[in-house]
Amino acid sequence: MQTSWVLPVRSLVNKPGHMEQLDFDVSLEEPWGTEMVTIPAGDDVSVEIRLESVHEGILVTGEAFGVAKTECSRCLQPLDHGFRVAFQELFAYSGQLEDELTVIDNTVDIDQVVRDSVVISFPFQPVCDENCLGLCAKCGANLNEHPNHVHEDEIDPRWAELKKLKEEE
């Protein structure tokens, strides 16, 4: 278990053509995600990564995978959303461009690269099943459990007095 997203690359710096592969898990110190889909703090994100030395810097290529917590946007049942996301980023030796990621003290920090790739992959409206019926708009009953659920039609208030007459007979 790795405790940080900062990876040492001393053995690769300025050695184009050299490569290392790493597989590790990182336990998150803070939650990742959105209001709908989240990987809670303390859960693990697994990473399979390849670090390649190129003339410009260190090319990081890999996949991150794990399980996020969410709920169905239709029926509100809790769900586990498994994810597997590819990412790639070049960490340059020179920090010439403002938004360029760089090799600092013979290390690369892949935290933001992995986080951005993972969070962007989360569904905007997760569903438990494409055919999920959701909840009844009137009473909140789960229509997946009660597919034949119906309510009496509401009577137009203008006809309420006639209904009273009918009930009196």
pLDDT of 142-162, one tens digit each? 998 988 888 877 777 787 777
Residue 163 has pLDDT above 80, yes or no: no
The closest of 45, 49, 59 to 16, measured between CA atoms, is 59
In this prediction, residue 126 carries a pLDDT of 93
**pTM (two decimals):** 0.79
The closest of 77, 158, 143, 62 to 110, measured between CA atoms, is 62
The mean per-residue pLDDT over the stretch 31-47 comes to 94
CA distance 54 to 27: 30
CA distance 52 to 12: 7
Tally Cβ neighbours within 10 Å of residue 16: 11
In this prediction, residue 100 carries a pLDDT of 83
The closest of 5, 3, 47, 44 to 22, measured between CA atoms, is 47
| Contact (Cβ atoms closer than 8 angstroms) between residue 113 and residue 47 | no
